[in-house]
Amino acid sequence: MKITEMSIPNAFRIVPEIHEDERGSFMELVRSSLLSEAIGYPFGIGQANCSLSSRNTIRGIHGTTLPPGQAKLVTCVRGSVLDVAVDLRVGSPTFGQYEMTRQDAETGVSVYLSDGIGHAFVALTDDACVNYLCSEKYVHGTMIEINPLDPDIGIPWELDGPPVMSDKDAAAPGLAAAADAGMLPSYEECLEYYASLRPAATA
């Protein structure tokens, strides 16, 4: 597999190698040792989630406060989605910027988003199934929601109809309002948290 950092620091794209024969295909979606080496600290799983979405459904932009944080490894395992990483870390050199990744079951492309990087996607097909491996379990009251249609972020969603969204996402504040309200983590806070996850050096 090939793991590369996106234009947003601490966000990674994972492209597996696909092996095909008369039976079909096989791919190794992620290897924890390789991902841990790329991100600079051990990759652990505290919770696994799965969502099913109809075409034109937008989920996100979602993040989690620190502590406890909740980094995500996101993979589309059925259908197709346009996945979006958004830098929510106040003070980051790429604050408010986004990067998009097309994910589908055929390619097995995944994204890993460290704490402080918001996540969203739009379903490009009906019955799109997305799997999330999360570094921490969900804690009520720690979710950060940013409006995915915020014009200041300006994500070009590939919609062929009206967006389907939860009431909570539709009513979420824009990025600037969330920053002014102190809802977002700082870049320095996130870097310190990443450093705390690294194994202690041994003599």
- What residues are annotated to the active site? 62, 132
- Interacting residues of 136 by C-beta distance below 8 A, sequence separation 6+: 46, 47, 64, 68, 69, 70, 71
Q: How far apart are CA 144 and CA 141, in angstroms?
A: 9
Structure tokens at 39: 């991100």
Q: How far apart are CA 96 and CA 192, in angstroms?
A: 20
Q: How far apart are CA 66 and CA 143, in angstroms?
A: 10
Closest CA to 109 of 75, 64, 136: 75
Neighbours of 91 (CB within 10 A): 14
Task: Give me the sign of the Cα torsion angle 96, 63, 113, 52.
Answer: negative
